[in-house]
Structure 1
Amino acid sequence: MRVPSRSPGQRPGSSVTPAVRARRRVPGAPPGPAAAPDLDAYRAAVADLLVEVAALAGASCATARQVLIDERLREPAIAAVLDATPQGLIGARETLLLEMARYQPNARSSAADLTALVRIYLLSRIDVMWWRDTPGFRTDAQVDASPELVDLEWLRRRDLLRFRYTEQPRTLLGRGVRAARRRLWPDATPRTAGLRFRRARREVVALLNDVARELAASSPPATPPLWVTSLVRSAEHQHRLRRLGYAAMVPSGHCLGWAVDVEMTWFGRFGVRDTLAELLLARQRAGEINVVDEGQAWHLCLAPAVRRRLRRAYEAEMGV
């Protein structure tokens, strides 16, 4: 089996660059008790891990992949984040290995291969680390009844949303109408199942409105508004998606109400996909959101540090 070539300065048997190693804690040096995990170091270490996972993608490499995961997840840059999640390092490791063992590629999943699965899982752990003390929405009924969420349709009818979405059809007739529209106008809207719940946290609405305004200001006049493909989900619905073959991770920022998915691929038709990507990555660099590339859509999660500011922005914009 050929292993990807190393860059100058890398030690044999490692895909970790000197820059990443320099960010790691010196062996034997105790971490500061209040120090937050270094998310830049975490993302860089995950990127290095993905190179090695890709090199061990064959069906005969299952044992080697497990050894690799065992080794790399214990590296300080990665362990610091996983240890701060509700599952802890050991629970996250076991969950990831189980996800990899069960993985079957299918057209519905955003994880096109094992490497994508590992990327989605590990980068989405930032979400659950940030919001580890937030109770999740366990059932569909809790989502529908929660006073922490607002109805998007109520806001849309009052022209208070700068982004677009579509709802999942609930009836056979509705699914038929959706299918007919796609046949007649296949590229008029993104190819997405739509929102199961048209509800969101107020801070999430403020973030999406803000990103939508930025996209509109940076795009040609005919560019459609930002399109949202998924918002809050219940744990009940998350498991429903898993049974259908989607890469719906557990636990998930969606089930906490702080994560959203936004369409990316469709905006390539209008020449602004890269513009939108840079807007989102700039917010990640500023510490406002976590971004996970899931192919057609990108997964976003609010950082706790911006919650208060976005709540004030929502209240100011909505006049409440």
Structure 2
Amino acid sequence: MRVPSRSPGPQPGPAVASTAPVRRLPTSPTARRSASDEPDLTAYRAAVAELVVEVGALADAPSTAARQVLLDQRLREPAIAAVLDATPQGFVGARETLLLEMARYQPNARSSAADLTALVRIYLLSRIDVMWWRDAPTFATDAQVNGSVDLVDLEWLRRRGLLGFRYQEQPASVLGRSLRAVHRRLLPDATPRTAGLMFRRARREIVALLNDIAREFAVATPSGTPPLWVTSLARSAEHQYRLRRLGYAAMVPSGHCLGYAADVELAWYRRFGARDTLAGLLLARQDAGEINVVDEGQAWHLCLAPTARRRLRRAYEAEMGI
């Protein structure tokens, strides 16, 4: 496949290939698995880490052709191909989308992908999310997120003292944005530097997960450490494309658009000596198979594993007295 030429500026239309399921090859790069034979995620993450190092050595513009050859070879390795083949797009669609993302990549201050290697790492690790939830429906529009009975209103829970974590909403007006800017100038480190939640809604299982992590974090850190801070939850695909147009590394498909992903602040906790503690807690849950974790710099992306859904739904109901 020929890599699309790098664009000198914004492109019209969606920034990635169609997210509709792509017809798969008659034979995948790996032997066809049974439905119960899930890919080895430990091997996948290790293979992605090795691939990212190699991409970093070929990140300069003259190495475009060599980088494509490297990706063609490494993506077909069993550990990686098994996950990509199990995503809704299949191996071919996932591979082509990654190549297109790389061809159009333009670094900017808003993006969590600080360089090309970060883009590759974030994209490939986030494919675990969409593999896990490949049969879940996507929230296509803002209206679907705001009107879904599968999501609960965080503000309703917060006012009743049922949330162990904090968040802030995006200002909805010019006045609100102005007040937020003044607050940041006066108290620059009082809260994380984040735009806030566009949608203050989340799946019940995600609320239970975040409450659980927040309790564990509070026990593991000194008195005075701020509670867990959540920067993003459920989003619509409509908003995902909006973020892409603004320069954010918002992947498509995304666990956020399925309602099973969240982003939590990490960098801000360095000033409290708690950043590494939180990172360790999250990685321990990943090792236990409960979540997928993607280091995106300032914030870390989390996605709930399907195997943990039932336990967390029961935990939510117990906490809410249902």
Give TM-score, length-normalised by structure 2.
Answer: 0.90
The one of 207, 232, 246 aligned to 1:244:
246
Q: Paired residue for 1:194? A: 196
Q: Is residue 257 of structure 2 the alignment partner of residue 294 of structure 1? A: no
Q: 1:316 and 1:197 mapped to 2: Cα distance?
A: 25
Q: Is residue 76 of structure 2 the alignment partner of residue 74 of structure 1? A: yes
Which stretches in structure 1 are left out of the alignment for 5+ residues?
A: 1-26
1:89-133 Cα deviation digits (max 9, x unpaired) = 000000000000000000000000000000000000000000000
1:254-308 Cα deviation digits (max 9, x unpaired) = 0000000000000001001000000000000000000000000000000000000
Question: Contact 2:205–2:316 at 8 Å: present in 1 too?
Answer: yes
The one-letter code sitting in structure 1 at the alignment partner of 2:191 is: T
Q: 1:200 and 1:148 mapped to 2: Cα distance?
A: 8
Give the drift of 1:313: 0.2
1:204-242 Cα deviation digits (max 9, x unpaired) = 000000000000000001000000000000000000000
Q: Paired residue for 1:176? A: 178
Give the drift of 1:33: 6.2
The alignment partner of 2:166 has SS state of: coil
- Report runs of 4+ in structure 1 exceeding 3 Å deviation: 27-34
Give the drift of 1:29: 8.0
Inter-CA distance 90–158: structure 2 relative to 1 (3 Å threshold): same
Pairing 1:274-313 to 2, within 5 Å after superposition? 274-313=276-315
Q: 1:89 and 1:268 mapped to 2: Cα distance?
A: 39
Q: Paired residue for 1:204? A: 206
Inter-CA distance 28–225: structure 2 relative to 1 (3 Å threshold): closer
Q: Paired residue for 1:113? A: 115
Q: Paired residue for 1:150? A: 152
Q: 2:99 and 2:227 mapped to 1: Cα distance?
A: 39
Give the drift of 1:35: 1.5
Question: Contact 2:30–2:81 at 8 Å: present in 1 too?
Answer: no
Q: 1:170 and 1:192 mapped to 2: Cα distance?
A: 15
Which stretches in structure 2 are left out of the alignment for 5+ residues?
A: 1-28
Q: Paired residue for 2:58? A: 56
Q: Paired residue for 1:167? A: 169
Give the drift of 1:30: 7.6
The one-letter code sitting in structure 2 at the alignment partner of 1:313 is: A
Give the drift of 1:31: 5.6
The one-letter code sitting in structure 2 at the alignment partner of 1:210 is: D
Identity %: 79
The one of 93, 102, 108 aligned to 1:100:
102
Q: Is residue 222 of structure 2 the alignment partner of residue 220 of structure 1? A: yes
The one-letter code sitting in structure 2 at the alignment partner of 1:118 is: V
The alignment partner of 1:229 has SS state of: strand
Aligned residue-pair number: 294
Q: Paired residue for 1:140? A: 142
Question: Contact 2:153–2:201 at 8 Å: present in 1 too?
Answer: yes
Question: Contact 2:141–2:237 at 8 Å: present in 1 too?
Answer: yes
Question: Contact 2:294–2:302 at 8 Å: present in 1 too?
Answer: yes
Q: 2:111 and 2:32 mapped to 1: Cα distance?
A: 41
Give TM-score, length-normalised by structure 1.
Answer: 0.90
Give the drift of 1:34: 3.2
Q: 1:194 and 1:34 mapped to 2: Cα distance?
A: 39
